[in-house]
């Protein structure tokens, strides 16, 4: 498949598809120099399966290069030896209006990442808010327009949703995750632009599904097969949507809706339970 990195180019879409507009993004990433799987804190991880750090770095580099090719402003935080999951930068915090709400991780293995990311935010001019409640950053907080969708059930505590609402003064909608394979909200929902999302219904309880159906009646419903390779763990600039290369039905649906899907292979990082979005923390000044 030819990958089109030009946001001004229009792919083959439905004649009825709306015109989408790319918006320049600023993101934070962390090179997986120390990536490996030596513990198990989600269903994707198995220390018995060997990992290839050099392959993880090469795949990550393709994602980095893709973002640069799209005109993104990409910042880097230095990886720390002994923190193999630090590559999943989305979990390091949540940033809106130059305010960085820090992460407080559930599992001890990842807890040192929280202070490391907050140190980076401070050094780069963000107003850092140290969390009181357990939360895993943009893994469980997704901004859709002026509304924050907030996940709970496995990692972030529901009372962190109140903390986020108080910090940012925006409406927060709690969504309950029920499938342990989709333990962060960004594995079950993809934000496509300020009004549109894609999601996997089976990842949520019925009250949460009712909210999603009411608020987003035109959402893309992703197949179980595409979700099972973390196809929803994608990142969009409003037109270009970087997704798992194997998520072919999601790719088709995105094209039909006027988006430009760009597939990348992060199969090695999938062994740690992360994909495109997990490696991407949006910095909103």
Question: Apex CA 274: angle with CA 51 and CA 112, to 5°?
Answer: 85
CA 188 – CA 179 distance, rounded (Å):
10
What contacts 154, CB < 8 A, 6 or more positions away?
106, 177, 180, 183, 184
Known catalytic residue at 278: yes
Judge whether 183 and 152 are in contact, CB under 8 Å.
no
CA 206 – CA 197 distance, rounded (Å):
18
Known catalytic residue at 279: no
* Structure-derived torsion over alpha carbons of residues 86, 96, 265, 9, reported in degrees to the nearest 10: -160
Judge whether 62 and 264 are in contact, CB under 8 Å.
yes
The two three-digit tokens of residue 37, written as one number: 């799987």
Q: Which of 30, 75, 161, 184 is catalytic?
A: 184
Give catalytic residue positions.
Answer: 184, 278
């Amino acid at each position: 498949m030819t990958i089109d990195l030009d946001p001004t180019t229009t792919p083959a879409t439905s004649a009825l598809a709306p015109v989408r507009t790319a918006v320049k993004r600023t993101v934070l990433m962390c090179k997986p120099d120390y990536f490996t799987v030596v513990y198990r804190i989600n269903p994707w991880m198995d220390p018995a399966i060997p990992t290839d750090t050099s392959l993880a770095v090469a795949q990550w580099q393709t994602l980095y290069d893709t973002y640069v090719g799209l005109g993104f402003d990409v910042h880097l935080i230095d990886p720390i030896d002994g923190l193999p999951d630090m590559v999943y930068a989305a979990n390091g915090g949540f940033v809106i209006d130059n305010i960085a709400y820090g992460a407080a991780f559930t599992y001890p293995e990842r807890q040192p990442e929280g202070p490391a990311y907050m140190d980076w935010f401070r050094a780069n001019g963000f107003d850092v808010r140290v969390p009181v409640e357990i939360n895993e950053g943009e893994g469980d907080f997704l901004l859709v327009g002026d509304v924050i969708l907030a996940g709970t059930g496995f990692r972030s505590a529901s009372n962190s949703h109140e903390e986020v609402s108080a910090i940012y003064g925006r409406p927060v909608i709690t969504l309950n995750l029920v499938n342990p394979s989709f333990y962060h909200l960004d594995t079950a929902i993809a934000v496509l632009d300020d009004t549109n999302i894609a999601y996997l219904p089976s990842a949520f309880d019925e009250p949460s599904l009712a909210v999603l159906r009411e608020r987003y009646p035109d959402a893309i419903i992703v197949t179980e097969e595409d979700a099972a390779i973390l196809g929803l763990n994608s990142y969009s600039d409003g037109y270009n949507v970087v997704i798992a290369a194997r998520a072919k039905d999601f790719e088709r649906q995105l094209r039909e809706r006027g988006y430009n899907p760009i597939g990348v292979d992060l199969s090695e990082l999938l062994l740690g339970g992360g994909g495109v979005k997990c490696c991407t923390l949006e910095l909103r000044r």
